[in-house]
Chains A and B, each alone.
Chain A
């Protein structure tokens, strides 16, 4: 087995251990604690206030633009990672290329600000 798979085996072992830890803690707690459910206790916890309305309600459409911006800049980040881990080796040309890339996408953010879609009226 190669070192690559071995290193991911470590990741898997830690994930499994984490899951076991949580299960054991919740399991022990459910064995030890008394269970006396009341209607009041079974309410969804919403910052200590009684929840209002249905959980499956409609979301404000404004969030969509922020989600959209997030997707675009997430994709941008993906392209930055391979460059960022070896900035020194790649040199000035790569730096200029990356700056050009970033500035181009940032223009979109400027457009969004100008159009006022980031303002929460």
Chain B
């Protein structure tokens, strides 16, 4: 496919626009001096990624990304920032002088990911582009073929919940424990 073929397709313009927006947001996440702004740029990057998933007809994945990552994980990030860093805001110590090694590492990850994707799929076109993978199909395989992994997920969630509570909770003194029980 030549570049003129590629640019003739309006879907590709949308892809390019969203891709550039994601790149910009991702760049600002690491360069932003205000940690809250970095978290909000991450929202932009994730929203753009959801848009890219929509373009690839992965409707369910896209909306899960919006629901779980933008809706919940970012909230947790912001709480984490606001709880631990006060006053939040401009923080010069966020920017580090070490840029060469991280840049090299990112480039290496990019090369490996690109190579792995091209190696696995090559020029093969996904048959489902422009045709939504229905959530019914996901439901059927989730509660059919993948029912055991699905149940395992519930235990993973339970472990995460209990682990999170154990870490986040302040240990009560025996006296306080007694008081709480008597209420």
Do chains A and B stick together as partners?
A: yes
Known: A56-B89, A77-B67. A82 touches B11 (CB 8 A): no
A71/B68 in contact, CB under 8 A: yes
Interface-centre pick from B72, B142, B160, B168 (highest chain A CB count, 10 A): B72
Interface-centre pick from B11, B89, B139, B140 (highest chain A CB count, 10 A): B139
B64 at interface (Cβ–Cβ under 8 A)?
yes
B161 at interface (Cβ–Cβ under 8 A)?
yes
Minimum distance in angstroms from B129 CB to a CB of chain A: 8
* Residue count of chain B within 8 Å CB distance of chain A: 50
B162/A108 in contact, CB under 8 A: yes
Chain B at the A interface: mostly helix, strand, loop or mixed?
A: helix
**A interface residue numbers (CB < 8 A to B):** 1-2, 4-5, 8, 54, 56-61, 63-65, 67-72, 74-79, 81-83, 85-86, 89-90, 93-94, 97-98, 100-102, 104-105, 107-109, 111-112, 115-117, 119
CA distance A49 to B166 in the complex (A): 38
A75/B138 in contact, CB under 8 A: no
Cβ 8 A contact of B168, one of A68, A83, A101, A107:
A68
Known: A79-B153, A108-B158, A116-B180. A56 touches B87 (CB 8 A): yes
B131: A residues at CB distance < 8 A = 2, 4
